[in-house]
Homo-oligomer: A and B are copies of this chain.
Amino acid sequence: MKTNVTMKDIAEKLKVSSVTVSKALNDKDGVSDELKEKIKALADKMGYRYNTMAKSMKDGKSYNVCVIIPERFTGMTQSFYLKVYQSIAQKLEERGYYGIIHILPSDDEEGLKLPRIYHERRVDGFILLGQPSKEYIELMQSVDMPLVFLDFYDENADVDAVITDNFYGAYELTNYLIQAGHREIAYVGNLFSTSSIQDRFLGYYKSLLEHKIHLKQEYVISDRDDRGSFIEFDLPEALPTAFVCNCDQVAHLLMERLQKNGFKIPEDCSVVGFDNDIYATLTSPNLTTVEVDIDEMAKNAVKFICEKMDDETAAFGRVAVKGKIIYRDSVKRLSE
């Protein structure tokens, strides 16, 4: 089987022009049905494979979308981002595009180096999955190319972003704790680390406010330093009855710590997480948490980037995708 059959080869065998072959193979008008079938059959038989490069050249598009994931996110939440990518790739494919993962090395992030794929014009748009440094965000924005932020946003309002509804998710989860009779509720997370952690905190805080529960300073417990490395928790003297953790992994860490100190969960302390990732079912008891709607997020991100590639002026702003509370066994209903 000859490995590089071209339209011209097919045309010659059939004594027609390659224009006609092109039309037939693309199901365009201007070829008789009979000829079209004949061409398709022969193409099949000859093992013809369409050469997208040629089309790319013609219309100056690569049909690639690059999904950039900062390296440091590939350790922590690896399963999550890979799943998101999978969903993105699938949805791009439905629109005739390819997804290309680019894991952004920390050095390149620091040195403000764009992926080579950009310099070689092999990409028509970027989806930035996971928050890089402020400087890198600015760099990406300065490049005149369709760009969508995914799973984070920036104070800069003029970029399109798809995020989970962190605020509302944490708000609902905290409401749930309060309905279960909890009043002493702590939040675990470094408020200055990422916008997700901050927004989840604010959702938690709103719930407290609505229920007229005072926010105690010592109930806001940091879980990591500003560079994102986890730190030892600084637990308050008097333990709260419940903890809202900014993510499942931290909930897992916290539960280990509490259990080591002799506390039972949920009997002595209730704990809730966020993300519904691998850590949520690794703990015992399993965690009540918020599940992110990965498919919906991917769907939006792909829709945005595709429409922006078609029309430079398209703009969508910030879209928050609602999550879903997964009720498990880490919360105790307090007697009133």
Give A residues with C-beta under 8 Å from B. Answer: 1, 3-4, 49-54, 56-57, 60, 62, 71, 74-75, 78-79, 81-83, 85-86, 89-90, 93, 98, 100-103, 105, 116-122, 144, 256, 278, 282, 284
Contacts and interface: CB of A to CB of B under 8 A. Distances in A.
Contacts of A60: 4
A124 to B, nearest CB: 11
Contacts of A117: 98
A122 B53 CA distance: 7
A156 to B, nearest CB: 20
7 contacts: A3-B144, A52-B121, A53-B57, A54-B57, A74-B82, A100-B100, A101-B101
Contacts of A101: 85, 89, 100-101
A86 B68 CA distance: 12
Contacts of A71: 86
Nearest to A93: B116
Contacts of A100: 98, 100-101
B86 A74 contact: yes
A11 B52 CA distance: 28
Contacts of A74: 79, 82-83, 86
Given A3-B144, A75-B79, A86-B103, 10 more contacts: A1-B144, A49-B118, A49-B121, A50-B120, A54-B57, A57-B57, A78-B82, A78-B83, A82-B82, A256-B284
Given A60-B4, A100-B98, A144-B1, A49 B82 contact: no
Nearest to A62: B53
A106 to B, nearest CB: 12
Contacts of A1: 144
Nearest to A312: B3
A52 B122 contact: yes
A327 to B, nearest CB: 22
A333 to B, nearest CB: 25
A98 B78 contact: no
